[in-house]
Amino acid sequence: MTSPIRLLIHGANGRMGRAVRRIAAEDARFTIVGVVSRSTPEARVVDGIPFFSDSELGGVPEFDVAIDFSLPEAFDGILGECLKRGAALVSGTTGLGDPQRVALETASARIPLVWASNFSLGVALLHQLVETAAARLPGWDCDIVESHHVHKKDAPSGTALTLGATAEASGARPHYASLRAGDIVGEHLVQFTGQGERIELVHRATDRDIFARGAIHAAAWLQGRPAGRYQVGDTLG
């Protein structure tokens, strides 16, 4: 049996970081060598996993891959540490500035990495289906309807806009509509309408764990890959 993948979790006390910790702890492919969060931990070891504050990042044990769901101000630190160690990086941290996006591209010449604003494997596949439909149905109307819980402020959602960008790159001219209702985790409908017929491609998220699972899937997929910038879609079977 091959040895488990040594995983570092960065941004470990956030909603996403906690989900990654919970799911990765039950995944035999991984051993969690450490978790890093902003604040100094109250306990150094929890359930056998060592905790570190961000100022201690340089002293974490060796790792093969880091999963990062933190904040833009924390991103440079984890990217630099992965470069220093030659480790892979999976990051879902959003709101990166232009210099950080450039730094990601530059880093991909030296380490394998996946950065994505949405780690759902279903949404990754939806992109591929939208690309096909938009390219094969020229002249059809393309409409993207996204639905989220009432607390979500931005509209259209970032995922709707990236789906729209995919459709546009294949020749469609998407229009957007947004619904805010109840506790909907997230739904994206991409609809292509022709004369007398219509295709509806829809993804419904019912659980935020899908993002953590997608990131963990990407971390396993990156093992043994050459340096490069990969997309979540590349990790699909």
Q: Which stretch binds ligand NAD (CB under 6 A): 34-42, 100-108, 124-132, 163-171?
A: 34-42
| 74 near ligand NAD, judged by CB under 6 A | yes
Query: 106-124: buried (b, 16+ CB within 10 Å) or exposed (e) per residue?
Result: ebbeebbbbbbbbbbbebb
Residue closer to ligand NAD, measured from CB, 85 or 171: 85
Residue 127 among the catalytic residues: no
Contact between 191 and ligand NAD (CB under 6 A)? no
Instruction: Determine, following the binding rule CB under 6 A, whether residue 38 of this chain makes contact with ligand NAD.
Output: yes
Residue type, 55: S
Based on the residue annotation, tell me whether 84 is a catalytic residue of this protein: no
Please give the structure tokens belonging to residue 103: 């730094």
CA pair distance 139, 129, nearest whole angstrom: 17
Nearest of 12, 34, 15, 24 to residue 207 by alpha carbon: 15
Nearer to ligand NAD by Cβ, of 95 and 97: the residue is 95
Pairing label, strands 175-180, 49-53 = unpaired
Query: Which of 4, 49, 94, 233 forms a contact with ligand NAD (CB under 6 A)?
Result: 94
Provide the binding-site residues for ligand NAD, judged by CB under 6 A. 10-11, 13-17, 36-38, 54, 69-71, 74, 92-95, 116-119, 211
